Chains A and B, each alone.
Chain A
Amino acid sequence: MTTDFSIDSLSPTLDAHVRSLRDATPDTRRAEDAQRALEDRLRRTRAPRLRRAGWIGAASAAVLAIALLVLPTLPGGGQNAFAAIQQQLRDFTTVHLTVTQQSGGMNMPTINVWAERNGRTRTDISDATSVIVDPRQHQLLTLLHGPHMAMQVTLPAGGQDAAKQADPMHWLKALAQFDGPVTELDKPRVIDGVITHGWKAQQHGMAMTVWADAQQMPRAIDVQGHGLTQHLRVRLDTAIPAGYLSTKVPDGYTAMQPDQD
């Protein structure tokens, strides 16, 4: 068995060289130009008209991305206060998540998720894309805000995988059922003027901290690992603007017809 490699074991010379690479920061404008070129290239390689499955895939991918962000943040149980936090997450009526992310000091798209207990969900990736899923009505609406395009799809009766992936209960249940070690942090943190306490956990190489107030209401989740820093602002049981979870094509958007498979 080999002794674990430690970054602290680097000589000062090698450490200085490593830091010079780690601190290399690209020009923001060039990085944004590259990001646009990447998205353009992926769009060009797509068929001119998106197949229905593609739109469902886009929607499920958007929500799956949230699950990828949030699932690793599931802290462990075994402590009463933390169990109460898990209970809050089981009992919510509505949830609003704002996910801000950074990678090596670079800002990444902000994601907003609104969800109802019955499963209706809206996911906004920056101001470019929105995906609204209504599992009960088997409806899915994808909005591309730049070109003002909309795709309304009836989820196939035999193919509910996308809806299941899009169901926020999928990850909330996973969070509520998670059982692993957590550590309560000594130092409180003030979020929106409210004193909160943190519970820290480690999973899949991610360091995760959940911040909850005196009523064990979760207020925020911090995630760090794999070169990413993520901050999830959690708001439970807040009002969702009227029509925000509607799967009807909004005014001003051109409805695109899915190809039939």
Chain B
Amino acid sequence: MSPPSHAEVASLARQYGRHVYLAAYRVLGRHASAEDVQQDVFVKLLQSPPHQVSSWPAWLATAATRAAIDRLRRQQRRQRLLPHWAQHRLDSAEPEPDAHTEQGERAQRLRQALARLKPAEAECFTLRCVQGLEIDAIARATGMSRNHVSVTLHRARHALEAALAPENRHDH
């Protein structure tokens, strides 16, 4: 299997662009950030095309999730470093659409907890529990062994259970 040409990437973008956008939006909760990730995924696909892809939907969901988690971690780091008034200005630039609903608050708590996990743990957990990929598909898309994916998922679950326990929440 040869790497996809420019035209093939454009065709994949037409087919699965919305799928990538949705995967990124779920992780980030912001339209502008999801759009950035969507473009990054396909531009990187042009620049560094993979040679072996068994399932494009799974590969693209993995690429989108990885890029979104990376962005989420950078956002969290930046928020920890910025003074409070600057954080507020950043947040108000594009507030999350449902930030003040119960569902929105829960989503935000999970995003913060995911950002504190190891990247591989956050990625595997998001792919399995949020994006709905099977363990075998995650293993193929990430290059990890099936057993490694399972171990990583167990670790992520334990870390998230602890972080989201009512007595341990770090709500802002």
Q: Is residue B78 within 8 Å, beta carbon to beta carbon, of the partner chain?
A: no
Residue B104 lies at the interface, judged by CB distance under 8 Å to chain A? yes
Residue B117 at the A interface, CB < 8 A?
A: no
Specify which chain B residues have a CB less than 8 angstroms from the CB of A126 in the assembled complex: 14
Are the C-beta atoms of A205 and B18 separated by less than 8 Å? Answer: no
- Whether A42 lies near B61 (C-beta < 8 A) is no
**A7 within 8 Å of B (CB atoms):** yes
Does B46 lie within 8 Å of A45, measured CB to CB?
A: yes
Beta-carbon nearest neighbor of B102 in chain A: A20
Which of A33, A38, A104 lies in contact with B13, CB distance below 8 A? Answer: A38
**With A20-B104, A21-B27, A30-B31 in contact, do A38 and B17 touch (Cβ < 8 Å)?**
yes
A35 touches B18 (CB 8 A): yes
Q: Mark A11-46, 1 if CB is under 8 A from B, else 0.
A: 101101110111110110011011101110111011
State in angstroms the CA–CA spacing of A166 and B31 once bound together.
36
Least Cβ–Cβ distance between B34 and chain A, in angstroms: 7
A128: chain B residues at CB < 8 Å are 14
Minimum Cβ distance to chain A for residue B127 (Å):
9
Q: Report yes or no: B18 in contact with A43, Cβ–Cβ below 8 A.
A: no
Distance of A242 from chain B, by nearest CB (Å): 28
Residues on the B chain within 8 Å of A13, using CB: 161, 164-166
B165, A205: Cβ atoms under 8 Å?
no
A225/B21 in contact, CB under 8 A: no
B6-A21 in contact (CB<8A): no
Q: Cβ of B135 < 8 Å from any Cβ of A?
A: yes
Q: Mark the stretch among A59-67, A133-141, A171-179 that contacts chain B.
A: A59-67
With contacts A31-B18, A35-B21, A37-B39 known, is A1 near B147, CB below 8 A? Answer: yes
Indicate the size class of the contact surface on chain B.
35 or more
The answer for the CA separation of A55 and B6 in the assembled complex, in Å, is 10
- The answer to whether B133 and A226 touch across the interface, beta carbons within 8 angstroms, is yes
Please tell me if the beta carbons of B25 and A26 are within 8 angstroms of each other in the complex. yes
In the complex, what distance in Å separates the CA atom of A57 from the CA atom of B153? 38
- A64-95 with Cβ < 8 A to chain B: 64-65, 68, 72
- Known A7-B128, A26-B21, A103-B22; contact A205-B27, beta-carbon cutoff 8 A: no
Bound-state CA distance A58–B154 (Å) is: 42
CB nearest neighbor in B for A126: B14
A129–B153 CA distance with the chains assembled, in angstroms: 41
Closest beta carbon of chain A to B112's beta carbon, Å: 11
Chain A, Cβ-Cβ closest to B153: A5
Q: Which residue of A lies closest to B113 (CB)?
A: A17
State whether A27 touches B97 (Cβ < 8 A).
yes
B106 at the interface (CB under 8 A from A): yes
Chain B's closest residue to A28 (CB) is: B18
The reply to whether A3 and B150 form a contact with Cβ atoms under 8 Å apart is yes
Q: Which residues of B contact A205 (CB under 8 A)?
A: 55, 58, 133-134, 136-137
Which 5 residue pairs spanning A and B have beta carbons closest together?
Answer: A61-B8, A61-B11, A58-B7, A5-B153, A205-B134
Pairs A–B under 8 Å by Cβ, sample size 16: A2-B150, A5-B153, A10-B157, A17-B160, A21-B107, A21-B130, A27-B31, A38-B35, A42-B6, A46-B10, A55-B7, A57-B5, A58-B10, A108-B18, A226-B55, A226-B58
What 10 new A-B contacts, CB under 8 Å, besides A26-B34, A225-B134? A2-B147, A2-B151, A20-B107, A21-B26, A21-B111, A34-B31, A35-B17, A42-B6, A68-B56, A227-B57
